[in-house]
Amino acid sequence: MPAHGPHAGHDAPAWGPDALVPLVLAVVAAVAYVTATRAYHRGRLRPWRPARTAAWLTGCALVAAAFSPVLVVVPGDASRHMVQHLLLGMLGPLALALAAPVTLLLGVASPATRRAVGRVLRARPVHVLAHPVTAAVLHVGGMAALYLTPLYALTTRSAGAHAFVHAHFLLAGYLFAWALAGPDPAPRRPGTATRVAVLVVTGGAHAALAKLLYAHADRLPPGGVHTVAEVEAAAQWMYYGGDVAEVLLAVAVLAGWYRSRARRERRVPGPLSSAPAPAGARSP
């Protein structure tokens, strides 16, 4: 798999416009989020959850790392590209989704903005787009299109196609993580069983794509110029790194289910509190 963009063929990535722009955007996003948490604290007289702030900062750092020279520690352009895919399309989006940015926005925005966001969340196209099945198709389908079609070769020649693929990975990965495990409001989100089933099927599809890439490393992706050994190494990064990301996502899904169940149990009175007092008993 050839390296993307102007640094294709170099042994080590270097800082350039294609790396600096994502870095600047990540820093801006981090600063904006932290600023919003302070406004939330002032307006609600209680602090925003530090774990969510940490998740957002982690997500921004992972996205920035996907474009940075730090990937020089990964040998080979093909493997570096695959690690970039894991950071940008799976690990980074999961951390960003767990930060609940929509909830934070609703907590600090004006009433008019909150109503507008509510209308968007209730819109039927958003329900369809944010359904776990739709999100999974966009998530895995984008990977399949990149590695099984001439799209990959196109991204090595076109900066626009290159940027589009990166944007798709980030947005589709975020949508998938939000649909399955995001703590933000998601009207008509399916139950936990459905989301776990979608995650299992998606994980299987991701693993199958990695195995296909490994088995046909001599001719995949179409137009690739790397050796068989280099593509096989990249496929292994995809397979095992994908497993790590999917386990983390499964933990997030089940943790959300556990918290939701605990909240429901706190709201429902227990059998002792709801039972009538015995005759003649005095109130404490």
Residue 26, pLDDT > 80, answer yes
Is residue 278 situated within a structural domain? no
Question: Nearest to residue 102, comparing CAs of 184, 188, 186?
Answer: 184
In a domain, 281, yes or no: no
Domain that holds residue 63: 5-265
Token couple for 137: 């198709």
Amino acid occupying residue 112 = A
193 within some domain: yes
The reported pTM is 0.85
- Find tokens 């895995």 and name the residue: 140
Instruction: Look at residue 144 and tell me if it is in a domain.
Output: yes
Task: Let me know if residue 109 belongs to a domain.
Answer: yes
Among residues 35, 44, 36, 178, which one has the least CA distance to residue 104? 36
pLDDT digits over 106-125, tens only? 999 999 999 999 999 989 99
Confidence of residue 207 (pLDDT cuts 50, 70, 90): very high
Q: How far is CA 80 from the centre of its chain?
A: 19
Query: Domains in the chain: how many in total?
Result: 1
Structure tokens at 216: 């046909």
88 lies in a domain?
A: yes
Quick check: 280 pLDDT over 50? no
Q: Is 277 helix (H, G, I), strand (E, B) or coil?
A: coil
- 3-class state of residue 8 by DSSP: coil
Q: pLDDT by residue (tens digit) across 127-185?
A: 999 899 999 999 999 999 999 999 988 988 888 898 899 999 999 999 999 999 999 98
Spatial CB neighbours of 24, under 8 Å, sequence gap ≥ 6: none
User: Would 280 be classed as within a structural domain?
Assistant: no
Question: Strands, E, within the chain: which ranges?
Answer: none
**What mean pLDDT is predicted for residues 69-76?**
69
The DSSP secondary-structure symbol of 75 reads: -
Identify whether 271 is part of a domain: no
What per-residue confidence (pLDDT) applies to 283?
36
pLDDT confidence of residue 174: 96
Which of the four pLDDT bands, split at 50, 70 and 90, describes residue 264? confident
